[in-house]
Amino acid sequence: MTPPSVYLRPFGLLSGADAHARIAAGDALPLAGGWLAFTGLERIRRTPGAAIHREVLHVAGLANLDGESAGTLARLTAPRGDFAGLSLDRPHVMGILNATPDSFSDGGVHFEADAAVASGRRMAEAGATVLDVGGESTRPGADPVSEAEELARVLPVLEGLQGVACLSLDSRNAPVMAAGLEAGARILNDVSALTHDPRALEVAARAGAPVVLMHASGDPKVMQSRTDYADVVLDVYDYLNERIAVCEAAGLPRASICVDPGIGFGKTRAQNHALLRDLALFHGLGCPILLGASRKSFLADLPGAEAPTGRLGGSLAAALQGLSCGVQMLRVHDVAETAQAAALHMRLHGAA
């Protein structure tokens, strides 16, 4: 019989002085070495074909954990090292720079290299510590572009933003990744978790580049028709866990891997909500977490949010939910507003 999969979802999250006091008293543990602590865990077990079993554990009883649970607990509490030179004891804002004509929200706005570079500089001034440059739309239903076209779109932007912020390259294609790293990108952000191009993992491992592994249910052309999960949170966790193992086997250390649950990529509105509620569970993977919920269509039924540019309020709410779960990086279109909201959130929670 296949052994059950075990997951630990932290609850009773605390911040600031409360977190420090409860940790000192021995009835809370730090969450990923960051600004939060937790007082209990929900241990979830499932075996293929069997019902999911859930039980509540309190910190006082965690000393007796063994096996898979003990390993997950160790990853939940361990401090995260620097990622691409960025300290993760505070959250980071990643500004989105889509050098495309057809991205779902900002398509065409940054299509010209000069416009993208100017926008990137403004984002950095507004608080973005990372700029994510992409040359291929991955919106639902999007068609792929040639590698030559993608390179023509992203390389001038990467070159023009040298020294402005930490640069991330949003690409699924190995030749683009290799050229982007040479042009100054420090992070490879792949919506296919290095599965789209069989050469991508080799490029990342050879360069020792930090990577973001995102969950998506198929490629952009078909992903919104593939939303059938046994349990969306646990299935996404399992997928990311498997991709981490593949990367480690190829020579990429876990410390160089960031995970993204892929909000909006092959998920229904209810499934996106479930992922946002249970983001803290993903700390059990032992990697920093990136949240990309900005302006996505699951927000469209909110008042006044039919158009992507009308989704600022919902996007900020999702970002603050991420911070309340200890997410270390927020990928957003509205940098100034998100940076301001995040700064106040962290200040109010005693973590600024």
CA dihedral 230, 233, 234, 237 (to 10 degrees): 130
Active-site hit among 46, 267, 295, 331: 331
CA dihedral 241, 245, 247, 248 (to 10 degrees): 130
For the question of residue 267 being annotated catalytic, the response is: no
Of 99, 141, 103, 139, the C-alpha closest to 120 is 99
CB atoms near residue 126 (< 10 Å): 16
For the question of residue 331 being annotated catalytic, the response is: yes
Tokens 């911070």: give the residue.
Answer: 323
Distance between CA atoms of 132 and 124, rounded to whole angstroms? 11
Helix runs in the chain, H state only: 16-25, 67-77, 113-126, 147-160, 174-182, 200-207, 232-249, 269-277, 312-324, 335-348
DSSP-assigned beta bridge partners for residue 134 = 98, 170
Tokens 């039924």: give the residue.
Answer: 301
Active-site hit among 46, 139, 186, 296: 296
Active site residues: 296, 331
